[in-house]
Amino acid sequence: MRISAPARAEEPLHIVIDQGKVEPLPIALPGFIGKSQAERDTGTNIAKVISDDLERSGLFRALDPRSFIERSMDFDTLPRFNDWRIINTEALVTGQAVIQDDGRLRVEFRLWDVVRNQQLRGKKYYTTPENWRRIAHLVSDEIYTRLTGETGYFDTRVVFVQESGSKIARRKRLAIMDQDGANVSFLTDGFDMALTPRFSPTAQEVTYLSYFNNKPRVYLLNIESGQQEVVGDFPGMTFAPRFSPDGGKIIMSLDTRGNSDIYVMDLRNRRQTRLTEHPAIDTAPSYAPDSRAISFESDRSGRQQLYVMRSDGTDIRRISWGEGRYATPVWSPRGDLIAFTKMLRGRFYIGVMRPDGDPKTERLLTESFLDEGPTWAPNGRVLMFFRQTPNRRDGSGGTVRLWSVDLTGYNLREVPTLGDASDPAWSPLIK
């Protein structure tokens, strides 16, 4: 127990601060300096991408460069901290971009705590000049980690389903982009419908569902090489594939004679193991990050609910006890929460709860006509999902877009995509 005032005169006054301000941290990001015009342009672009990354996280507020007092900065001298404190910033990022004689780009940055007059971080990177965006994301990750303690998630990519065409002839193809919506490229041609892509947590590989001869099959796709293969040769239809945390297994549901159960397949020896055996529909399995447990959805109680079991299929426990139906449980990479889709009285919600099923820990983060398919950023702090906003009364038409939200429920934002997009899958940090 802590006290607010001293019991004895000799003891120092003791106060407890348990409330703070939930406001973004003000940060100043002057353009990275350079000698040539090309260097200055690159420096300005890098600072802009960093600024956008940090702002999008909801935890930072990039100050307007027009408010800066100190403008001509030398990268190798101390900033004039007073000038930065006056404009109420708490952190400052300085940097420079240099195109070397060998044609490569060198980018250096320093992160300053202008309240305590300290340098917090300093690094430099080398790459080809056209790869400057990646450096900007790496610098964003460094700043984010140093100031929040969380691992960054800016140097990541998102695989999603790009949708186009009419409702009858809908084309769904896999696409990949940086987490900020830049650098979009397509992974499948769109002749066969692609659904539910899931990233490997350890490699640049994606598993997804595609129809072949009108039969859904789980595929494995290497992003770098473009190579893909069918996962296993099952007698029935396979759904909802997802990697194990070590990337060595794929867990999915297999439908035989109208009954769906959870199976796991070892990718090394292609051996498959059945984990659930129940006449109800068991699907959407997701491993805990320590591989010891698996969450899934099942209608064994009469309606869709979330369950957790040991990874060998034993000790099945129901964890969702609120009103409505629950689906698509996804275990956080941090292990502390399970994200899900909830359906209640015709509305859809994205929420999180603790894996022990304590109903008090359930927290709904979003609500709309249709929110679905949550995926975690690799640091377990941000969720991305897709939202359909219909423009007809019957719920059809309109748009399907990707959105992100902080696990605290703040900072709901649309992720920019070219046209309709659904089923996002967040990559691990790029190595």
Partner 1 sequence: MRFGFFLSVLAHVAIVMAAVVTLPSMFDGAEEFQMLPVEILEIGSETNVRAAALKIAEAPEPEPVKEEEPKFAEAPPPPPPPAMNEPVADDAMPALAKASDPKPKPKKAEKTSVKNTMPRRKPKPPAPQSKDELDLGELQALLDKAPKDEPKPQPQQSDDALDSLDDFLAEDQADLPRRAIGLGDGLTISEVDALRQEMQKCWRPPTGAANPEELIVELRIFLKEDGSLVRAPRIERSGTSTFGKNSFTMAAEEAARRAVVMCAPYDFLPADKYERWKEVTVTFDPASMVGY
Q: Which of residues 50-79 bind partner 1 (CB under 8 A)?
A: 74, 76-79
**Residues within window 260-289 making contact with partner 1, judged by CB under 8 A:** none
Question: 174 and 186 in contact (C-beta within 8 Å)?
Answer: yes
The span of 1-9, 43-51, 261-269, 275-283 binding partner 1 (CB under 8 A) equals 1-9
- Can residue 15 be called a binding residue for partner 1 (CB under 8 A)? yes
Neighbours of 289 (CB within 10 A): 17
Interface segment toward partner 1; rule CB under 8 A; list 185-193, 208-216, 308-316, 328-336: 328-336
* CB-CB contact of 188 with 174 (8 Å): yes
Choice between 120 and 280, CB closer to partner 1:
120
> Would you count residue 380 as binding partner 1 (CB under 8 A)?
yes
Candidate ranges 296-304, 307-315, 338-346, 400-408; the one touching partner 1 (CB under 8 A): 400-408
Residue 48 binds partner 1, judged by CB under 8 A? no
Assign residue 226 a region (left: φ > 0; alpha: ψ between -120 and 50; beta: otherwise).
left
* 128 counts as binding partner 1 under rule CB under 8 A: yes
Give the start-end residues of each E strand in 70-117. Answer: 91-99, 105-113
> How far is residue 242's CA from residue 171's CA, in Å, rounded to a whole number?
23
The nearer residue to partner 1, 118 or 256, going by C-beta atoms, is 118
Report the site for partner 1 in 106-125 (rule: CB under 8 A).
Answer: 106-108, 110, 112-113, 115-125
User: Contact 297/339 with Cβ under 8 angstroms?
Assistant: no
- CA–CA separation, 265 and 272 (whole Å): 4
Of the candidate residues 9, 166, 169, 226, the single one contacting partner 1 (CB under 8 A): 9
Residues in region 138-197 near partner 1 by CB under 8 A: 138, 145-151
- Nearest Cα to Cα of residue 51 among 150, 180, 182: 180
**Interacting span for partner 1 (CB under 8 A) from 191-199, 260-268, 281-289, 401-409:** 401-409
206 pairs with which residues across the strands? 199, 221
Tell which positions 338-367 bind partner 1, by CB under 8 A: 363
User: From the list 102, 233, 323, 394, which residue makes contact with partner 1 (rule: CB under 8 A)?
Assistant: 102
Which residues have a Cβ under 8 Å from the Cβ of 353 and sit 6 or more positions away?
A: 306, 319, 320, 337, 338, 340, 361, 362, 363
Q: For residues 170 and 183, is the Cβ–Cβ distance under 8 A?
A: no
